[in-house]
């Protein structure tokens, strides 16, 4: 795996883990700054880090702090980021812009994948990925996360894609780009808060060791690019899709009325849905990120074992 030693600053714990070949799980920070309100964002980030540790891996939350690309934050730094306002939301296009300008920014799935690959971290846990937005045939709004999955060699564990997106087009895009999409213990691609999207998961695997074996076979073929693992929430915790749809439709209608565009679209929709659902979507969101972190840690541990 490519490493670019001068491009980032690992925490002492992450540096030690990477050097000794211990399993590490990358975590994104846009979910902290733009995906959830304070204080739930901080509590979630802390719970996610604790979950990764309980499963025997080291968490590496990634962000740009004062122009420094950090791989692994201290708890004080995580808290400061969770409270900060006017933090940039960084993707492939502007990650280096923030570094050059000495800015502070959180990393999306795309930018977190870039940092993880440069650091030599193979697995990354998030909530939901960005994708092809509804109406993309006229707006052209397609998240840079998808192109990143096509080119950057990291396994991304998520709960599928939010139904604020056009999930069918998102899956078509990933298929075109040759990105493997693996349903974990499911035949259906999950839709974040809901288990059901009505669309099949292209591939299915039922344990972390099988996912690690698949990745090792991909590595031997030098296929490059990432893998998407879609981990549905437990049935007793997930929300029914029809309940979520009303909130989504209203949030999208409002975003169009207000002319929200570009990188503001996803944060706007996420925030409005939390408001419209009276916070019910938020509890589900927290559960699924913790569940994804646990699976990502299991995959990282499985990858670190000798064949
Ligand atoms: N989807 C979620 N929660 C999130 C995001 C997406 O369910 O917090 C964040 C992630 O950081 C993702 C980014 O990479 O939004 C995608 O933004 P855009 O659609 O502007 O590419
Ligand atoms: Mn977009």
Pairing of strands 123-125, 155-158: parallel
- Per-chain residues with Cβ under 5 A from ion ligand 2: 141
Distance between Cα 8 and ligand 1 center (Å): 22
Residue 175 confidence (pLDDT): 98
DSSP string, 250-262: HHHHHHHHTT--G
1-121 in CATH: which number?
Answer: 3.40.1790.10
* Cβ 246 vs Cβ 281: under 8 Å: no
The continuous run of DSSP H or E covering 46 comes out as helix 40-54
Kindly state which CATH superfamily the domain 126-307 is placed in. Indigoidine synthase domain (3.40.1790.10)
Helix (H) or strand (E) holding 63: strand 58-65
Q: CA-CA distance, 278 to 266, in Å (whole number)?
A: 19
Residue spans of the domains in the chain: they are 1-121, 126-307
What is the reported pLDDT for 243? 86
Residues with CB under 6 A from ligand 1: 28, 30-31, 35, 108-109, 127-128, 130, 143-145, 162, 192, 263, 266, 270
Q: What tokens appear for 86 in the block?
A: 């006017």
Centre a 10 Å sphere on the Cβ of residue 163 and count the other Cβ atoms it contains. Answer: 22
pLDDT along the chain (307 residues), means of 10: 74 97 97 94 97 98 98 96 95 98 97 98 97 95 97 98 94 98 98 94 98 98 98 92 91 96 93 91 93 98 89
DSSP 8-state code for residue 5: G
Ligand 2 midpoint to CA 262 (Å): 5
Digit-coded pLDDT (tens) for 15-56: 999 999 999 999 999 999 999 999 999 999 999 999 999 999
pTM: 0.96
pLDDT of residue 163: 83
Active site residues per annotation: 28, 162
Secondary structure of residue 190 in the 3-state scheme: coil
pLDDT at res. 4:
66
d(CA 27, CA 25) in angstroms, rounded, equals 7
Q: Do domains 1-121 and 126-307 have the same CATH topology?
A: yes
* C-alpha 235 to ligand 2 mean position (Å): 30
Residue nearest to atom 16 of ligand 1 (CA): 130
């Amino acid at each position: 795996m490519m490493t670019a030693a001068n491009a980032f600053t690992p925490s002492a714990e992450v540096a030690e883990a990477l050097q000794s070949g211990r399993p590490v799980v990358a975590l994104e920070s846009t979910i902290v700054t733009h995906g959830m309100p304070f204080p739930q964002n901080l509590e979630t980030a802390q719970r996610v880090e604790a979950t990764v540790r309980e499963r025997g891996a080291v968490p590496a939350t990634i962000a740009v702090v004062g122009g420094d690309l950090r791989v692994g934050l201290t708890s004080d730094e995580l808290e400061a980021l969770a409270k900060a306002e006017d933090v940039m939301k960084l993707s492939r296009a502007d990650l280096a812009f923030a570094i050059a300008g000495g800015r502070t920014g959180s990393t999306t799935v795309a930018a977190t994948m870039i940092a993880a690959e440069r650091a030599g971290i193979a697995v990354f846990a998030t909530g939901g990925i960005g994708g092809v937005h509804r109406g993309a045939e006229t707006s052209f709004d397609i998240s840079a996360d998808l192109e990143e999955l096509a080119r950057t060699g990291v396994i991304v564990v998520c709960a599928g894609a939010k139904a604020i997106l056009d999930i069918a087009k998102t899956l078509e895009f990933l298929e075109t780009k040759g990105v493997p999409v693996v349903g974990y213990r499911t035949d259906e691609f999950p839709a974040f808060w809901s288990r059901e999207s009505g669309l099949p998961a292209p591939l299915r695997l039922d344990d972390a060791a099988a996912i690690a074996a698949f990745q090792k076979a991909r590595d031997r073929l030098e296929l490059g690019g990432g893998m998407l693992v879609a981990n549905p929430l437990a049935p007793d915790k997930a929300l029914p899709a029809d309940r979520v749809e009303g909130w989504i439709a209203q949030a999208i209608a409002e975003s169009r009325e207000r002319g929200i565009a570009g990188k503001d679209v996803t944060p706007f929709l996420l925030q409005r849905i939390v408001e419209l659902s009276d916070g019910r979507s938020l509890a589900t969101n927290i559960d699924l990120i913790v569940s994804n972190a646990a699976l990502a840690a299991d995959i990282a541990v499985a990858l670190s074992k000798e064949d």
